[in-house]
Amino acid sequence: MKDLTVRVEDRIGALADIGEATGRAGINIEGMSGDSRQGEQLHVLVEDASATREALEGAGFDVGDERDVLVVEVEDRPGTLGEVARKLAGAGVNIDLIYSTFGGVKAVIGVDDADKARSVL
Protein backbone atom coordinates (compact mmCIF):
# COMPACT_ATOMS: atom_id res chain seq x y z
CA MET A 1 0.00 0.00 0.00
CA LYS A 2 1.05 3.59 -0.53
CA ASP A 3 0.76 6.62 1.71
CA LEU A 4 0.50 9.96 -0.08
CA THR A 5 1.00 13.29 1.63
CA VAL A 6 -1.47 15.83 0.27
CA ARG A 7 -1.23 19.52 1.03
CA VAL A 8 -4.71 20.71 1.92
CA GLU A 9 -5.79 24.27 2.58
CA ASP A 10 -7.64 24.53 5.90
CA ARG A 11 -11.01 25.51 4.46
CA ILE A 12 -14.59 24.30 4.48
CA GLY A 13 -15.17 21.71 1.76
CA ALA A 14 -11.54 20.73 1.17
CA LEU A 15 -12.04 17.17 2.38
CA ALA A 16 -15.24 16.89 0.33
CA ASP A 17 -13.25 17.98 -2.74
CA ILE A 18 -10.70 15.23 -2.10
CA GLY A 19 -13.38 12.60 -1.63
CA GLU A 20 -15.20 13.65 -4.78
CA ALA A 21 -12.04 13.77 -6.90
CA THR A 22 -10.94 10.28 -5.84
CA GLY A 23 -14.51 8.96 -6.10
CA ARG A 24 -14.87 10.19 -9.70
CA ALA A 25 -11.61 8.38 -10.51
CA GLY A 26 -12.83 5.15 -8.89
CA ILE A 27 -10.18 5.33 -6.17
CA ASN A 28 -10.94 3.95 -2.74
CA ILE A 29 -9.17 5.67 0.13
CA GLU A 30 -8.32 2.84 2.54
CA GLY A 31 -7.24 5.03 5.45
CA MET A 32 -6.53 8.64 6.28
CA SER A 33 -4.90 10.88 8.86
CA GLY A 34 -4.84 14.62 9.18
CA ASP A 35 -5.03 17.48 11.63
CA SER A 36 -5.15 21.03 10.33
CA ARG A 37 -3.67 22.24 13.61
CA GLN A 38 -0.44 20.40 12.73
CA GLY A 39 0.01 21.97 9.29
CA GLU A 40 -2.00 21.67 6.16
CA GLN A 41 -1.32 18.09 5.19
CA LEU A 42 -3.32 14.93 4.95
CA HIS A 43 -2.08 11.35 4.67
CA VAL A 44 -4.12 9.06 2.46
CA LEU A 45 -3.69 5.31 2.11
CA VAL A 46 -4.34 3.96 -1.39
CA GLU A 47 -3.41 1.04 -3.60
CA ASP A 48 -2.74 3.02 -6.79
CA ALA A 49 -0.58 6.02 -5.97
CA SER A 50 -0.19 7.27 -9.53
CA ALA A 51 -3.95 7.29 -10.26
CA THR A 52 -4.57 9.00 -6.92
CA ARG A 53 -1.89 11.59 -7.59
CA GLU A 54 -3.38 12.28 -11.02
CA ALA A 55 -6.93 12.63 -9.63
CA LEU A 56 -5.91 14.92 -6.78
CA GLU A 57 -3.55 17.08 -8.81
CA GLY A 58 -6.27 17.37 -11.45
CA ALA A 59 -8.54 18.75 -8.72
CA GLY A 60 -5.94 21.35 -7.75
CA PHE A 61 -4.27 19.61 -4.81
CA ASP A 62 -0.52 19.40 -4.31
CA VAL A 63 0.53 15.80 -3.72
CA GLY A 64 3.95 15.54 -2.14
CA ASP A 65 5.64 12.54 -0.59
CA GLU A 66 4.72 9.02 -1.69
CA ARG A 67 5.93 6.07 0.32
CA ASP A 68 5.36 2.41 0.93
CA VAL A 69 3.79 1.70 4.30
CA LEU A 70 3.04 -1.44 6.24
CA VAL A 71 -0.60 -2.26 6.88
CA VAL A 72 -0.67 -4.52 9.91
CA GLU A 73 -3.73 -6.35 11.15
CA VAL A 74 -4.04 -5.83 14.90
CA GLU A 75 -6.44 -7.07 17.55
CA ASP A 76 -8.92 -4.63 19.01
CA ARG A 77 -7.78 -4.93 22.62
CA PRO A 78 -5.66 -3.05 25.12
CA GLY A 79 -1.91 -3.41 24.66
CA THR A 80 -1.83 -4.25 20.96
CA LEU A 81 -0.14 -1.00 19.96
CA GLY A 82 2.54 -1.59 22.58
CA GLU A 83 3.21 -5.11 21.31
CA VAL A 84 3.60 -4.03 17.68
CA ALA A 85 5.71 -0.99 18.56
CA ARG A 86 7.93 -3.03 20.91
CA LYS A 87 8.65 -5.60 18.15
CA LEU A 88 9.75 -2.82 15.84
CA ALA A 89 11.77 -1.07 18.55
CA GLY A 90 13.45 -4.35 19.43
CA ALA A 91 14.54 -4.69 15.81
CA GLY A 92 15.89 -1.13 15.79
CA VAL A 93 13.13 0.18 13.49
CA ASN A 94 11.85 3.72 14.04
CA ILE A 95 8.14 4.47 13.52
CA ASP A 96 7.66 7.93 12.02
CA LEU A 97 4.00 7.67 10.95
CA ILE A 98 1.01 5.75 12.27
CA TYR A 99 -2.73 5.88 11.70
CA SER A 100 -5.55 3.38 11.22
CA THR A 101 -7.53 2.17 8.24
CA PHE A 102 -11.22 2.30 7.50
CA GLY A 103 -13.31 -0.86 7.89
CA GLY A 104 -11.31 -3.03 10.24
CA VAL A 105 -8.63 -2.90 12.83
CA LYS A 106 -5.40 -2.30 10.95
CA ALA A 107 -2.54 0.04 11.70
CA VAL A 108 -0.77 1.90 8.90
CA ILE A 109 2.87 2.24 9.90
CA GLY A 110 5.59 4.25 8.22
CA VAL A 111 9.07 3.21 9.28
CA ASP A 112 12.68 3.95 8.47
CA ASP A 113 13.44 0.33 7.47
CA ALA A 114 10.45 -1.42 5.87
CA ASP A 115 12.26 -4.68 5.13
CA LYS A 116 13.40 -5.10 8.72
CA ALA A 117 9.93 -4.15 9.99
CA ARG A 118 8.24 -6.73 7.75
CA SER A 119 10.61 -9.41 9.04
CA VAL A 120 9.67 -8.83 12.67
CA LEU A 121 5.95 -8.36 12.13
User: Are 6 and 63 part of one and the same domain?
Assistant: yes
Q: pLDDT band at residue 18, thresholds of 50, 70 and 90?
A: very high
10 and 62 co-located in one domain: yes
Distance separating alpha carbons of residues 64 and 61, to the nearest angstrom: 10
Specify whether the CB–CB gap between 24 and 55 falls below 8 A.
Answer: yes
Taking the C-alpha atoms of residue 29 and residue 19, their distance in angstroms, rounded to an integer, is 8
User: Are 39 and 74 contained in the same domain?
Assistant: no
The total of structural domains in the chain comes to 2
Say if residue 85 is in the same domain as residue 46. no
- Domain that includes residue 54, residue range: 2-67
Specify the CATH number for the domain of residue 93: 3.30.70.260
Contact present, 42 and 62 (Cβ < 8 Å): no
> What pLDDT sits at residue 59?
97
Closest by CA position to 60, among listed 2, 11, 116, 3? 11
Considering the domain architecture, whether residues 10 and 56 belong to the same structural domain is answered as: yes
Same domain for 8 and 60, yes or no, is yes
Beta carbons of 56 and 18 less than 8 angstroms apart: yes
> Is 16 found in the same domain as 63?
yes
Q: 63 and 8 share a domain?
A: yes
| C-beta separation of 102 from 40 below 8 A | no
Q: Are residues 47 and 79 in the same domain?
A: no
pTM summary value: 0.87
Q: Are residues 54 and 83 in the same domain?
A: no
Number of C-alpha atoms within 13 angstroms, CB side, residue 102?
Answer: 9
Using one digit for the tens of pLDDT, what is the confidence trace for 30-82? 999 998 877 789 999 999 999 999 999 999 999 999 999 999 999 889 999 99
| Whether pLDDT at 25 is above 90 | yes
Is residue 30 located within the same domain as residue 80?
A: no
CB half-sphere exposure, 15, CA atoms < 13 A: 13
Rounded to an integer, what distance in angstroms lies between the CA atom of residue 43 and that of residue 65?
9
